[in-house]
Structure 1
Amino acid sequence: MTATPATSVRFGRLERRGVLLGLDAGQLTVLGVALVVLVVAEYGAGAVGVAVTAPVWGTLAAVALVSVAGRPVTRWLPIVGQWVLRRVFRATRYVARPLRDSGPESLSLPGFSGRLTITASPTTGAALVFHRRSGTVTGILELTGRGFLLEDPGSQDLRVSGWGRVLASLCQQPEIVRVQLLHRSSADGAAGVRRWWFEHALADAPWATRVVADLLAESTTLTDRRDCFLAVAVRVPRGSRRVNAAVIDAVEQHLAAITDALVAAEVDVRSVVSPARLRGVLRAAYDPMAALDGPHLETGDGLVGPMGVAEFWEFVRTDSAHHAVYWVAEWPRSDFHPGFLQPLLLAPGARRAFTLIAEPLSASAALREIRRAKVEHTADAAQRARIGRLEDASTRAEADDLLRREQDLVGGHGDLRFAGLITVSAGSRVELEAACRATEAAAAQAMCELRLLVGQQGQAHAAAALPLARGLL
């Protein structure tokens, strides 16, 4: 009997369309200024004026037309400018003030503007994180899987379809601003094994069980711990200064609906994340070696945020680790197995956090976005035909992706604006470089293209390593 292969998946290309001939508004503006300088110099002083002003209009033209690392120079300028300003004003370093920042209901974390308020739900005990500046309240679920890769292709197809229905249901709930799926691999020492053993072993077990307990008590072997969280950010009424009963009820209803959808998709919801558990999770993101100590991460005792953070151009350093954050710039563009992320997520010994951030779009908003993009493609094609420039395969592929998205929306599917982020952690700079090379190799196996978020590592770490649904960069 021949097994039926699992349904393949394919992603669209990274959209690179522009306003005119592939150039965006910023590039056209800079190029227009260069042309103005050139024309004024030509009419004012002739060839001499053109030669004298050549460094000006030549530099502007280069800024408008040249790309560095796949990104136009005009898009690098804001990143470099913000980085320089933050360096000048010493905003790239953060030092905790334990006497001021250790309140049980308030958090001040680097990468977040303003303070975060944690409220415990009176009915479920869930931690509800209120960020006043963004106007959202976030609830977090802790998830476990059922061995997707070990299932037969038919079962895999059912689970993929179920997960698709979960995502589609998000687009039908306008109060949901965004969701974040965080899968984190960390070192657990032997604490996790010991904890499981003492919780499940029988007290009156035979001598062999006692021998195993003694061996575990003396074990120093490092093990891998994998945690998975789903954070849901819900919009609160404008001007809200605190989380009231109505907001709590609304968030709990959304969490309950998502829980039902996850269970139908055969994804187990272990529990809602309590305030104590959330503090432990946040602490482990800044101090991974604290996981080796075990118990306090479950109870949330001690300091929640980092003792200190130093942001550099290519990485960020926290209490006991160095971190580098990548953006998944390209996903598989050909038919691939749904478990294509296995090399990135399940590599033994890897200390990585994979985050998928998705912002649901209503059908009307998604259709407007698609039709606007189609108009830009049509205008761009007409301009290329006017100057005799041929259309390349990448442009046709982007147009096909837009058509497929529009057909899916008309067919009743939802649309999401999403991004993938990967945080690589290591104990030292040298170890981080080796871990980054291994991560890039694993991404190549998964048919994904990664880009290091240089100049944005502090904000990227907050978005990628913390289950708080911070939002897209």
Structure 2
Amino acid sequence: MSIPEVGPTTRFGRLERRGVLLGLSGVQLTVVGAALLVAVVGVYSAGVTGLVLSAPVWVVLLAAGTGNVGGRPVVGWLPLLAQWHARKAAGRTSAATSARPVLPGERFGLPGLPGELELVDCAALGGTLIVDRRTATVTGVLRVDGTGFLLADASAQEHKVTSWGRALAGICQQSAVLRVQVLARIRPGGLAPARLWWREHCAAESSGLVAALAGMLDEGFVVPHLRETFVAVAVRAPHGRRRMSAADLALVAKHLGSFAAAVESADLAGHAWLDGEGLARALRAGYEPAAAGRAEDGPTTLTSPTGVQERWQWLASGSSAHATYWISEWPRSEVHPAFLQPLLLGEATDRTVTLIAEPLATGKALREIRRAKVEHVADAAQRARIGQIENEATRAEVADLERREAELVAGHGDLRFTGLVTVSADSPAELEQCCAAMETAAAQAMCEVHRLVGQQGVAHAAACLPLARGVL
């Protein structure tokens, strides 16, 4: 009997939920301590009567310090609510619409992003870079296409996974690279090449059938969906916030070029780095995917800013509505590298899946791991003192920490991954239906997702714009 080939597998670490003491964070312990202080003062001042009279205060504090709502501690909701109402009162949840195109060398702003950005043409790279002087970063965007993964045999899949891992390991050795973003998007569009071919080869025909087919192409007889993937790389600006010189652009182009070569070695067909028009199309599709699909035949110029209205659970931009989710838990068991297939290749709905990888310095990563291990040891000692049994989730977290430390000591790099998923639709009612379909697809991929309420603006910018921005 022949044994079938088994492809490569991967294992993800669990979401760390440790606390300073008994699973409670420092803020939670402070609130619980305040509740105990109020109760003790009430007892010492008026005995049982004082305890009862002060109950409305210490009970509320105790519930706020130990309770959880929607997977988030109650004390964690307070800053979120305060920031949301402050931004709403200041009018920062909406942005006006302007049709003025943005030219290279000119600064512009985008909704959800603080500060201004600048487009700079880089001849050495053959594309356009996005400069953010506020964070002293320079970002290049590369459009890539895969050469086939699902239909490849196990050895070819393992080669591609290893090569991509080698490309990510390379950024851990480059201190100039801040983060890498992989953005895979499904949006309306894709008929532009067919219409172009038709105009070039069949426009002169005058038969009724040719005219009917031309009308179908022009009127959108079918609703095609385009799948596109971008890799954005953010590097540190050579001289901080100063204006970049030709030598600075050459240095940035060298870093980006080395990463592009590593991407191609992973059997990813990398196109040229996006120019100004390509960036305009990518950014516009992030805000209005349907409008971008209708306008893909002609030239696109970047406008600043796009009209956006942020709501508590979703974001409205032009004629589109968006909702962004955070992948809070990756699969807890070993999975095949194609485990995201339900999200990436499922039902043809407007959907964007983003993976952000931030390299951590080896020294910093080791310090974080050792501090976490000390907290686990102290927490375990306290649990044993009060007779509380350690659960399996805590043991799994400790095992993940030990595995990460062993890999770092062995010479591997450490990356902090963040996953975001954005669902887009033409109306809020349709958006909720698409969100339900996405949540089902996430469950099939063995991922847990949570909607980022109260912060849809910054979440949408991080998830839908190929700018390699930091997360929240």
The question of whether the paired residues in 2 share the 8 Å contact of 1:191 and 1:293 is answered with no
The one-letter code of the counterpart of 2:291 is: A
2:305 aligned with 1:300, yes or no? Answer: no
The aligned residue for residue 64 of structure 2 is 63
Say what the alpha-carbon RMSD is for the aligned residues.
2.3
SS at match of 1:451: strand
May I ask how many residue pairs the two structures share in their alignment? 467
- The whole-number CA distance in structure 1 between the counterparts of 2:42 and 2:248 is 62
Cα distance change on mapping 1:38 and 1:266 into 2, 3 Å = same
- The whole-number CA distance in structure 2 between the counterparts of 1:88 and 1:213 is 53
Q: CA deviation at 1:216?
A: 4.4
Q: Percent identity?
A: 49
For residues 2-57 of structure 1, what are the alpha-carbon distances to aligned partners after superposition, in whole Å with 9 as ceiling and x for unaligned? 43110211211111011111101110111111122222222222222222211111
- The whole-number CA distance in structure 2 between the counterparts of 1:302 and 1:362 is 36
The aligned residue for residue 370 of structure 2 is 371
The aligned residue for residue 330 of structure 1 is 329
More displaced 10-residue stretch of structure 1: 211-220 or 435-444: 211-220
Gaps of 5+ in 1: none
The aligned residue for residue 381 of structure 1 is 380
The aligned residue for residue 113 of structure 2 is 112
SS at match of 1:250: helix
The one-letter code of the counterpart of 2:469 is: R
The question of whether the paired residues in 1 share the 8 Å contact of 2:103 and 2:119 is answered with no
For residues 229-256 of structure 1, what are the alpha-carbon distances to aligned partners after superposition, in whole Å with 9 as ceiling and x for unaligned? 1111111246523222232122211111
- The whole-number CA distance in structure 2 between the counterparts of 1:76 and 1:143 is 39
Q: CA deviation at 1:213?
A: 7.2
Q: CA deviation at 1:195?
A: 3.8
- The whole-number CA distance in structure 1 between the counterparts of 2:313 and 2:136 is 31
Q: CA deviation at 1:304?
A: 5.2
The question of whether the paired residues in 2 share the 8 Å contact of 1:283 and 1:304 is answered with no
- Trace 1:424-443 onto structure 2 (pairs within 5 A): 424-443=423-442
- The whole-number CA distance in structure 2 between the counterparts of 1:320 and 1:91 is 20
Cα distance change on mapping 1:302 and 1:414 into 2, 3 Å = closer
The question of whether the paired residues in 2 share the 8 Å contact of 1:21 and 1:380 is answered with yes
- Trace 1:249-328 onto structure 2 (pairs within 5 A): 249-295=250-296, 299-301=299-301, 303=303, 305-306=305-306, 308-328=307-327
- The whole-number CA distance in structure 2 between the counterparts of 1:424 and 1:48 is 54
- Trace 1:207-218 onto structure 2 (pairs within 5 A): 214=214, 216=217
- The whole-number CA distance in structure 2 between the counterparts of 1:136 and 1:129 is 8
For residues 264-302 of structure 1, what are the alpha-carbon distances to aligned partners after superposition, in whole Å with 9 as ceiling and x for unaligned? 1111111101112101211121121223324467x3336
The question of whether the paired residues in 1 share the 8 Å contact of 2:109 and 2:304 is answered with no
For residues 295-352 of structure 1, what are the alpha-carbon distances to aligned partners after superposition, in whole Å with 9 as ceiling and x for unaligned? 467x33363541x111111000001200000000111111211101011011242110
Cα distance change on mapping 1:337 and 1:239 into 2, 3 Å = closer
Cα distance change on mapping 1:133 and 1:202 into 2, 3 Å = same
Cα distance change on mapping 1:196 and 1:460 into 2, 3 Å = farther
For residues 63-102 of structure 1, what are the alpha-carbon distances to aligned partners after superposition, in whole Å with 9 as ceiling and x for unaligned? 0000001110111111111111112222211113445x74
The one-letter code of the counterpart of 1:425 is: S
The question of whether the paired residues in 2 share the 8 Å contact of 1:354 and 1:423 is answered with yes
Cα distance change on mapping 1:195 and 1:42 into 2, 3 Å = farther
- The whole-number CA distance in structure 2 between the counterparts of 1:407 and 1:212 is 66
- The whole-number CA distance in structure 2 between the counterparts of 1:259 and 1:4 is 31
- Trace 1:74-153 onto structure 2 (pairs within 5 A): 74-98=75-99, 102-104=102-104, 105-153=106-154
The question of whether the paired residues in 2 share the 8 Å contact of 1:426 and 1:435 is answered with yes
- The whole-number CA distance in structure 1 between the counterparts of 2:94 and 2:260 is 39
2:10 aligned with 1:9, yes or no? Answer: yes
Q: CA deviation at 1:204?
A: 12
The aligned residue for residue 45 of structure 2 is 44
The one-letter code of the counterpart of 2:454 is: G
- The whole-number CA distance in structure 2 between the counterparts of 1:317 and 1:216 is 29
Q: CA deviation at 1:193?
A: 3.2
Q: TM-score under structure 2 normalisation?
A: 0.93
Cα distance change on mapping 1:342 and 1:275 into 2, 3 Å = same
- The whole-number CA distance in structure 1 between the counterparts of 2:224 and 2:305 is 24
The question of whether the paired residues in 2 share the 8 Å contact of 1:310 and 1:317 is answered with yes
The aligned residue for residue 405 of structure 1 is 404
- The whole-number CA distance in structure 2 between the counterparts of 1:10 and 1:198 is 50
- Trace 1:91-240 onto structure 2 (pairs within 5 A): 91-98=92-99, 102-104=102-104, 105-188=106-189, 190-195=191-196, 214=214, 216=217, 220-237=221-238, 239-240=240-241
SS at match of 2:120: strand
Gaps of 5+ in 2: none
Q: CA deviation at 1:103?
A: 4.9
More displaced 10-residue stretch of structure 1: 286-295 or 318-327: 286-295
- The whole-number CA distance in structure 1 between the counterparts of 2:310 and 2:361 is 37
Q: CA deviation at 1:472?
A: 1.5
Cα distance change on mapping 1:53 and 1:192 into 2, 3 Å = farther
Q: CA deviation at 1:218?
A: 6.3
Cα distance change on mapping 1:302 and 1:361 into 2, 3 Å = closer
Cα distance change on mapping 1:187 and 1:218 into 2, 3 Å = closer
Q: CA deviation at 1:183?
A: 0.6
- The whole-number CA distance in structure 1 between the counterparts of 2:12 and 2:377 is 22
For residues 136-193 of structure 1, what are the alpha-carbon distances to aligned partners after superposition, in whole Å with 9 as ceiling and x for unaligned? 1111111110111111111111111111111111110111111111111100063243
More displaced 10-residue stretch of structure 1: 77-86 or 438-447: 77-86
More displaced 10-residue stretch of structure 1: 434-443 or 350-359: 350-359
The question of whether the paired residues in 2 share the 8 Å contact of 1:142 and 1:269 is answered with yes
For residues 193-223 of structure 1, what are the alpha-carbon distances to aligned partners after superposition, in whole Å with 9 as ceiling and x for unaligned? 3346668x79999x9x979974645652111
